[in-house]
């Protein structure tokens, strides 16, 4: 079912443009609803790739397959040379520690304070940390998003933009090598959206992480994207830098840029 050819060598190739993640010919359907149909994307270290597609095109399904929340019907997903759909629970947890996932709805635990939200991944993954180390990591993560004062607040007491930033802090607390952003700026005002975009770019510089960003916010795409992959009808419609796409005459592409 999965691709037989060996792409591990390619994945482990050293150097600055080391490939950290490969998705190849990914298909996923729910009943008769074929959402993804032979979709492929590759991610290299230090790179920001944007997946662009309209609402309901299967962007969230794509990254949920990458993180192992959904099982693909067919196709290959390799992260650091390991095939996600084949991993057992422990191996999957180990690889998930290296992947940050920013949920579209933030997914902050509303029965926990901001501190407990940030501590959750630190305490639940099998890493041994002292209380001081945990406190320090939480403080640093909050400082990164400039929300130190919210540490003892509940998510319900925060504004939408603040919640997004806390969710981002929680995503980044384990210093992941790959970060998957599911529509990081959707539903935010332009100023807050701009702050989130700046944070994403800062993170890329600071940790040299590889990011897969799902978005249909053109401001966000323009500013963060090294490469844009267009997802239409479950397939790769086009893959190009932003500058190239805006000059395209293709009506299917133009529709996004108006």
Partner 1 sequence: MFSSRYWKFFFEETGNIARFAGRLFSQWGKPRYEIAEFFRQCYIIGYKSLPLVTLTTFIMGLVLTMQIRPFLVDYGVESQLPAMVGIAIVREIGPVITALIFAGKIGSSIGAELGSMKVTEQIDAMEVSGTNPFKYLVVTRVLAATFMLPLLAILGDVVALYGAYLGVNMSGVTSFELFWAKVFKYLSFSDVLPAFVKSFFFGFAVGIVGCYKGYYSKKGTEGVGQSANSAVVLSSVLIFIIDLIAVQITDVLNLN
Ligand X SMILES: Nc1ncnc2c1ncn2[C@@H]1O[C@H](COP(=O)(O)OP(=O)(O)OP(=O)(O)O)[C@@H](O)[C@H]1O
Q: Which residues bind ligand X (CB under 6 A)?
A: 30, 33, 35, 53, 55-61, 104
Maximum CA extent, the chain: 57
Nearest approach, Cβ of residue 52 and ligand X (Å): 10
> Considering beta carbons, is residue 21 or 63 the nearer one to ligand X?
63
Nearest approach, Cβ of residue 248 and partner 1 (Å): 34
Nearest approach, Cβ of residue 1 and partner 1 (Å): 23
Q: Is there binding between residue 110 and partner 1 (CB under 8 A)? A: yes
Candidate ranges 41-49, 103-111, 141-149, 218-226; the one touching partner 1 (CB under 8 A): 103-111
Distance in angstroms (rounded) separating the CA atoms of residues 146 and 169: 10
> Considering beta carbons, is residue 50 or 61 the nearer one to ligand X?
61
> Which option in Mg ion, ligand X, partner 1, none does residue 153 bind, with CB closer than 5 to 8 A by kind?
none
Nearest to 141 by CA among 111, 105, 100, 107: 100
- Among 124, 149, 249, 251, which residue sits at the site for partner 1 (rule: CB under 8 A)? 124
Which residue number is nearest to ligand X in terms of Cβ?
60
The residues near 69 (Cβ < 8 Å, ≥ 6 apart) are none
Distance in angstroms (rounded) separating the CA atoms of residues 128 and 39: 38
> Considering beta carbons, is residue 57 or 171 the nearer one to ligand X?
57
> Considering beta carbons, is residue 18 or 93 the nearer one to partner 1?
93
Contact 98, 83 (CB under 8 A): no
Instruction: Show the site string, 51-80: x = touches partner 1 by CB under 8 A, - = not.
Output: -------------x--xxx-----------
> Considering beta carbons, is residue 4 or 55 the nearer one to ligand X?
55
> Considering beta carbons, is residue 106 or 150 the nearer one to partner 1?
106
DSSP bridge partners of 181 = 102, 213
Nearest approach, Cβ of residue 147 and Mg ion (Å): 25
Q: Is there binding between residue 227 and partner 1 (CB under 8 A)? A: no
Candidate ranges 23-31, 43-51, 100-108, 185-193; the one touching partner 1 (CB under 8 A): 100-108
Q: Is there binding between residue 60 and Mg ion (CB under 5 A)? A: yes
Binding site for partner 1 (CB under 8 A): 64, 67-69, 89, 93, 96-97, 99, 101, 103-111, 120-121, 124-126
């Amino acid at each position: 079912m999965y691709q037989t050819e060996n792409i591990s060598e390619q994945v482990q190739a050293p150097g600055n443009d080391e490939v950290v993640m490969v998705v190849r010919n990914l298909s996923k359907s729910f009943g008769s609803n074929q959402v993804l149909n032979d979709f492929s994307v590759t991610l290299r270290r230090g790179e920001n790739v944007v997946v662009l597609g309209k609402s309901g095109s299967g962007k969230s399904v794509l990254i949920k397959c990458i993180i192992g929340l959904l099982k693909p019907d067919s196709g290959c997903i390799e992260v650091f040379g390991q095939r996600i759909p084949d991993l057992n629970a422990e191996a999957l947890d180990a690889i998930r520690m290296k992947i940050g996932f920013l949920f579209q709805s933030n997914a902050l635990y509303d029965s926990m304070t901001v501190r407990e939200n940030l501590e959750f991944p630190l305490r639940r993954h099998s890493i041994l940390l002292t209380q001081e180390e945990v406190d320090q990591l939480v403080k640093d993560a909050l400082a990164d998003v400039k929300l130190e004062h919210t540490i003892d607040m509940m998510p319900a007491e925060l504004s939408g933009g603040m919640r997004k930033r806390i969710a981002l802090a929680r995503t980044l607390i384990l210093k992941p090598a790959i970060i998957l952003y599911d529509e990081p700026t959707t539903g935010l005002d332009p100023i807050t959206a701009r702050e989130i975009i700046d944070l994403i770019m800062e993170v890329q510089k600071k940790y040299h992480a590889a990011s897969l960003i799902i978005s249909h916010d053109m401001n966000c795409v323009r500013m963060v994207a090294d490469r844009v992959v267009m997802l239409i009808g479950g397939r790769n419609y086009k893959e190009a830098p932003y500058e190239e796409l805006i000059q395209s005459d293709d009506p299917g592409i133009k529709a996004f840029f108006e």
